Each structure stands twice: as structure tokens, then as C-alpha cells.
Amino acid sequence: MALIVVSIFAGWMYRANSRNRWTRAEALPQIRSLIEKDDIPAAFDLAQTALAYTPDDHDLKQLRVQLARPVALTTSPSGAQVFYRPLQQWEGILEARRHDSA
């Protein structure tokens, strides 16, 4: 029984450490790179994923503050849910139409 408990604990620790390593070694550098490229939606999405794995990471929390943009919205009806879609998904459609009509 003790072996099972130790095995479960070791597996849990390995998983937690691998997520911390991924955040520090991969996610944080990618988020910084995306911010430098001004790809804020992709940086925000990656930061959200990393925060789900490592919610207490100080560096990640600081980067998320850089990504946050206050937005004032008036909805009808009041209290409606608001979602976002990165603008880049629509730019390709607009460019294609411009080329077709030229």
C-alpha cells in the first residue's frame, strides 16, 4: 500500500514539475517574443494556458499585467457575455477581397 501511495505522489510531483519547467523554459520566452512582435492575442492565450498550469508563477503574472488592456463595453442586454476574436483572422479575408476586386 505504501508503494502505491509513494508512486502516486511521485507521479503527481513529476507532472507538477514538468508543467513548471514548460512554463519557465518555453511559455515565458514565447510570450515575451509574441509581445515584442505585437501579437497580443496570441501572447494572452499562451499566458492563460500557462497560468492554468502554474497560477502562482510571479514572472507569468507580471507578463499578464502587460497584456491586460482595460476595455469599457456597454451591452444590451446588460450583463451579456463578451468574447474576443483576434483581428488577424479577418485581415486575410479583407486582403483577399481587395485583390479580387482590383
Query: What pLDDT, in 10s, does the model give residues 59-80?
Result: 888 888 888 777 777 888 888 8
pLDDT for the residue numbered 30: 94
Q: How far apart are CA 80 and CA 36, in angstroms?
A: 33
* DSSP classification of residue 82: -
Torsion on CA atoms 25, 28, 33, 35, rounded to nearest 10: 180
C-alpha cell at 18: 514538468
Task: Reduce the DSSP state of residue 76 to 3 states and report it.
Answer: coil
Q: State which residues form the domain around 78.
A: 2-101
- Residue 57: closest CA among 30, 11, 19: 19
pLDDT for the residue numbered 34: 92
The total domain count for the chain is 1
Q: Within the chain, which residues score under 50 in pLDDT?
A: 91-92, 94, 96-97, 102
